[in-house]
Structure 1
Amino acid sequence: MREWLANPRKSKGLTHQQVADKVGIKRQYYGMIESGERTPSVTTAKRISEVLDLDWTIFFESKSNKMFLSQKQAI
């Protein structure tokens, strides 16, 4: 789960449905993004970031960090 995404949503008192509606995506898709199952497009990341007051690049930095760590552990 992406706590860095869930925590701001919860602190704003928003549900998955409310964020999805504001962003223009389906609730199920937003849930997959928040759980880490999916990475949004740049456009969607920017929209989510506007709603939750986040830096949109964190969606991609987090994935890169996970890939780096898994590659490092494999060595």
Structure 2
Amino acid sequence: MNDAKTIGERLLKLRISEKKTQKEVTEAIGISVSALTMYETGNRIPRDEIKVKLAHYYSTSVERLFYA
């Protein structure tokens, strides 16, 4: 697995490239804005069920999003 900072950068770039707000993403997958902020800043790595929800939301695989 990549480190938390790398994952955070990837999540942030993906959200920005899709022109989504944090609120849009968090409401769609059922997490708090503060949790997404911690993921995007590399302070925390999402647990497995959230990884699956994020990958589904961004139409990609968990492997590509978190392990590539």
TMscore range, shorter length: 0.7 to 0.9
TM-score (norm 1): 0.69
The runs of at least 4 aligned residues of structure 1 exceeding 3 Å deviation read none
Bigger fraction of residues in helix: 1
Distance 1:54 1:8 in 2: 11
Point out where structure 2 has 5 or more consecutive residues left out of the alignment: none
Structure 1 or 2, whichever has the larger Rg, is 1
Point out where structure 1 has 5 or more consecutive residues left out of the alignment: 63-75
After superposition, residues 1-75 of structure 1 pair within 5 angstroms as 1=5, 2-57=8-63, 58-59=65-66, 61=67
Aligned residue pairs total 61
RMSD of aligned alpha carbons? 1.7
Q: Whose RCO is larger (CA < 8 A, sep 6+)?
A: 2
Percent identical across equivalent pairs? 23
**Is contact 2:9-2:42 (8 Å) kept?**
no
